[in-house]
Structure 1
Amino acid sequence: MQPPARERVLDAAHQLMLTVGLARATTKEIARAAGCSEAALYKHFASKEELFIRVLTERLPQLAPLLHGLAAEPGRGALEANLTEIARQAALFYEQSFPIAASLYAETQLKRRHDEVMREMGKGPHLPIEGLAAYLRAEQDAGRIRAGADTFAAASLLMGACAQRAFAYDATEEGRPPVDAFAARLARTLLAGITD
């Protein structure tokens, strides 16, 4: 039995966006790859921009549930283990989303449309930083992070390093560092700066 049209469209969009990039993945090609009409695609998604956001939120590793859960229960688990898992998930998300989203930056109009739709949907690349900062503040309130530590800066550093891993290391001979070792080193280093 074939999956529902919405799922086929998401799968096809994900695959095409990964292989040809967002700018070159047309709704017509996505519909053809999903085995449906373009009209059927638009029955489930109002625009290509919405489809892109749904691919990011439904097909890639998700940070929001992890961050919300940890922020709701500060003190749960070892701080280093929590930050390591956050860094691992963030690194995987950026690794998978960078090839899809990179073409946005080559087309100003397309980027503007996507930014507009993201704002309308309450989505955006700033949310993981804000979510991690909220978690770190909760841990700070619980006494596990130094009182004077800048939680927003710490969150920005962790997320920025994970985003950098997605493309900065491809040009090196060694290639991209393995995600688990990278996440553990990043968490340890960040903790050294924000704990006593």
Structure 2
Amino acid sequence: MQKPARARILDAAHHLMLSVGLARATTKVIAKEAGCSEAALYKHFTSKEELFVTVLQERLPRLAPLLDQLAGNPSARSIEENLVRIAHEAALFYEQSFPIAASLYAETQLKTRHEAAMREMGTGPHMPIVGLDAYLRAEQVAGRIRPEADTYAAASLLLGACAQRAFAYDAAGQFPPPAADEFARDLVRTLLAGIG
């Protein structure tokens, strides 16, 4: 039995965005790979930008729901355990999303159009920082983070390091990124030394 059209479109978009980049993954090419018409694609997604955001939300590690859950109930686990979970998911998210989004920076018009669409949809790359900041402020209110700690800066540092892990390693393989679980533990211990 064939998958529903929406699932086939997302599968095709994810595959093409990874293999040829966001700029070259046109809606026409995505529809063809999904085995449907371009008109059918637009029945499910209003734009390529919406399709991109949906791929990030549904096909990559789910960072936003984790942040929302922890902000609503911060003390279910220790702050260290929570931050390690967040850093681990973020490291995997950026590792998988970086190859997709990298082509945005190669074409100024595509980047400008993409940024405008993100603003219109009320989303963008700043949203994980906003979500992590909300969680850290909840921890601050609970007394598990120093009252004078800058939670937005801490969120930016943690997520920035996770994004950098996906980007800053030698492509030749001499300096591969550390495993996500090891990286998350070390990063959180360092961050907690400053805000804990």
**TM beyond 0.5:** yes
Give per-residue Cα distances to partners, 1:123-165, cap 9 Å, x unaligned. 1110100110111111011010011111010000000000001
Which 4+ runs in 1 deviate beyond 2 A? none
Residue 172 of structure 2 corresponds to residue 182 of structure 1: no
Residue matched to 2:18 = 18
1:51 match:
51
TM-score normalized by the length of structure 2 = 0.97
Please give the secondary structure, in 2, of the residue aligned with 1:75.
helix
Matched with 2:160 is 160
Match of residue 78 from structure 2: 78
Deviations 1:16-36 (A, max 9, x none): 000010001111111111011
Alignment-derived partner of residue 148 in structure 1: 148
CA shift digits 1:46-65 (9 cap, x unpaired): 11111111111111111111
Q: Which residue of 2 aligns with 1:173?
A: 174
Higher mean alpha-carbon deviation, 66-75 vs 7-16, is at 66-75
TM-score (norm 1): 0.97
Q: Contact 1:169/1:177 (CA < 8 Å) preserved in 2?
A: no
Q: Which amino acid aligns with 2:31?
A: A
Tell me how far apart the structure 1 counterparts of residues 176 and 113 of structure 2 sit (CA, whole Å).
33
Contact 1:83 1:187 in 2 (8 A): yes
Aligned partners of 1:74, 1:36: CA distance in 2, in Å?
A: 44
How many percent of aligned residue pairs carry the same amino acid? 73
Q: Residue 8 of structure 1 contacts residue 34 of structure 1 at CA under 8 Å; is this kept in 2?
A: yes
Shift of the alpha carbon at 1:117?
1.1
Structure 1 distance, partners of 2:14, 2:132, is 26
What are structure 2's unaligned runs of at least 5 residues? Answer: none
